[in-house]
């Protein structure tokens, strides 16, 4: 990670990660920063707290607020929005594919394609055929990427990412890290990008 | 509540309610809005979820982030900050006193005095003698205010406030309401003030 990079930790199942993913590159460029994409799955970290579901489902009032807030945020950002069903999506396959994709220059575009499919198009991002289509849209080789995603070499990478997230104190996403300085939530993106590297 | 008013729901034990309370009147005035102060205690609402402590204590990683974030926010807002001990404060007596204070024009200043005592001066806001001093600082009659605060007429008002908060879907504070449009968190204050009445 270069000094000017902002680490962007996200889960494909996370609603507020969607507007973050769609806008972070343009905002970072305007701020003279680069983005290090860090896919993770929050399920194991939530499980540490005894949670077996999204906090937005476990806390219905918070969930109702979040869906309304997502409508407002996406409207303000000019992003299409459709509430995913089921929620939360199983994001493990997409995260494994993203770790492979991010070894290539089409990685960030693949991540945006996944978020758009899930939060704007009603697609099921747990489906391998959906992920294959999104790899192709991003400019990658679908068969090779999905084969690499489930390979014995790649599976431990997602587990390692979860371990890194836990070890750095990440408790929710999106989280932006500038060095060890942490910013949690889409509404903190601009503050993170303005934080001295 | 007038059309231009923003309802400000807060708990004296809530860290992010402190910068909200200290800055909301100036921000609202700049936005052409007025503020309706709504003290509440979140304990009973958290208890609905099975929580018997602050979420910042129940989730240690989130708590660590919050304290660092409070340092940053208070520095940015020019507010002194000292981590309260114990945390969370028992805010019931202060909330009852605030309901009395807000029947008078010195109510908002009393609320700010409570937050300042707790988050900048290390005072125990559960102490009647502390609250008496803060009433005096705000321009009220301490003996009368504290007597009214614990009167049989006043105690049900705090319970009613909790019931209203629950009924309107409040799940955390500070929360800002513009009509039924909800904004949660200090970082949403300016968005709330800009929302059409």
**Given the structure tokens 């919050």, which residue do they identify?**
B66
Q: What is the pLDDT of residues B76-122, one digit of tens each?
A: 999 999 999 999 999 999 999 999 999 999 999 999 999 999 999 99
Q: Edge to edge, what strands does the sheet with A5-10 contain?
A: A34-39, A5-10, A175-178, A181-184
Cβ–Cβ under 8 Å, residues B178 and B172: no
Please tell me the number of Cα atoms within 13 Å of A82 on its side-chain side.
13
Which of A59, A68, A69 shows the shortest C-beta gap to B49?
Answer: A59
pLDDT at A137: 98
Strand A5-10 versus strand A34-39 pairing type = parallel
Where residue B4 falls among pLDDT bands split at 50, 70, 90? confident
Where residue A38 falls among pLDDT bands split at 50, 70, 90? very high
Is the per-residue pLDDT at A151 higher than 70? yes
B187 touches chain A (CB under 8 A): yes
Measuring CA to CA, which residue among B12, A119, A115 is closest to residue B22? Answer: B12
> Which chain A residues are within 8 Å of B58, Cβ to Cβ?
49
Q: Do B68 and A172 touch (CB under 8 A)?
A: no
DSSP string over A111-146: HHHHHHHHHTS---TT-HHHHHHHHHHHTS-HHHHH
Task: Tell me what the pLDDT averaged over chain B comes to.
Answer: 96
Alpha-carbon torsion angle A192, B24, B154, B146, nearest 10: 100
B61 touches chain A (CB under 8 A): yes
pLDDT at B1: 62
Q: Do A61 and B184 touch (CB under 8 A)?
A: no
Burial class (CB in 10 A: 0-12, 13-18, 19+), B48: exposed
CB pairs below 8 Å between A and B: how many?
35
Q: What is the pLDDT of residues A81-97, one digit of tens each?
A: 999 999 999 999 999 99
* Maximum Cα interatomic distance, chain A, rounded to a whole number of Å: 43
Structure tokens at B57: 């204590």
Is the per-residue pLDDT at A2 higher than 90? no
Segment A151-173 mean pLDDT: 97
Q: What's the DSSP call for residue B122?
A: -
The whole-model pTM stands at: 0.96
Q: Do B65 and A185 touch (CB under 8 A)?
A: no
Q: Determine the residue of chain B that is closest to A177 in CA distance.
A: B65
Q: Do B62 and A172 touch (CB under 8 A)?
A: yes
CA-based angle B83:B158:B184, to the nearest 5?
A: 55
How far does A123 lie from chain B, in Å, by closest CA? 29
Helix (H, G, I), strand (E, B) or coil at A147: helix
Q: What is the pLDDT of residues B56-74, one digit of tens each?
A: 999 999 999 999 999 999 9
Helix axes A107-119, A128-138, angle to 10 degrees: 130
pLDDT at A179: 95
Is the per-residue pLDDT at A165 higher than 70? yes
- Give the H or E element holding residue B39: strand B34-39
Q: What is the pLDDT of residues B20-35, one digit of tens each?
A: 999 999 999 999 999 9
Segment A68-83 mean pLDDT: 98
pLDDT at B112: 98
Q: Which residues contact B189 (CB under 8 A, 6 or more apart)?
A: B20, B23, B24, B27, B174, B176, B183
Within 10 angstroms of residue B99's Cβ, the number of other Cβ atoms is: 22
Q: Determine the residue of chain A that is closest to B189 in CA distance.
A: A187
State the complex-level ipTM: 0.95
pLDDT at A197: 83
Q: Do A62 and B187 touch (CB under 8 A)?
A: no
Cβ–Cβ under 8 Å, residues B197 and B36: no
B58 touches chain A (CB under 8 A): yes
Is the per-residue pLDDT at A103 higher than 80? yes
**Given the structure tokens 């069903």, which residue do they identify?**
A85
Alpha-carbon torsion angle B60, B62, B67, B73, nearest 10: 180
pLDDT at B3: 59
Burial B115-142 (b: 16+ CB within 10 A, else e): bbbbbbeebebbeeebbbebbebbebeb
For the stretch A47-52, contacts whose Cβ atoms lie closer than 8 Å and that sit 24 or more positions apart, written own/partner, are A48/A166, A49/B58, A49/B59
Cβ–Cβ under 8 Å, residues A34 and A176: no
Q: Which residues contact B141 (CB under 8 A, 6 or more apart)?
A: B135
Which of A49, A58, A65 shows the shortest C-beta gap to B59?
Answer: A49
């Amino acid at each position: 990670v270069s000094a000017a990079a902002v680490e962007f930790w996200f889960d494909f199942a996370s609603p507020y990660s969607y507007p973050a993913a769609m806008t972070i590159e343009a905002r970072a460029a305007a701020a003279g920063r680069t983005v290090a994409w860090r896919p993770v799955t929050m399920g194991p970290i939530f499980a540490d707290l005894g949670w077996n579901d999204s906090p937005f489902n476990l806390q219905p009032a918070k969930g109702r607020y979040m869906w309304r807030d997502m409508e407002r945020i996406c409207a303000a950002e000019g992003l299409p929005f459709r509430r995913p069903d089921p929620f939360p999506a199983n994001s493990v396959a997409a995260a494994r594919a993203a770790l492979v994709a991010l070894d290539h220059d089409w990685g960030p575009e693949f991540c945006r394609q996944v978020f758009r499919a899930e939060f704007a198009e009603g697609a099921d991002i747990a489906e391998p055929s959906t992920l294959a289509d999104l790899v192709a849209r991003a400019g990658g080789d679908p068969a090779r990427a999905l084969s690499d995603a489930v390979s014995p070499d790649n599976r431990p990478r997602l587990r390692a990412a979860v371990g890194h997230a836990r070890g750095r104190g990440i408790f929710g996403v999106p989280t932006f890290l500038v060095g060890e300085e942490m910013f949690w939530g889409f509404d903190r993106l601009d503050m993170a990008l303005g934080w001295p590297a």
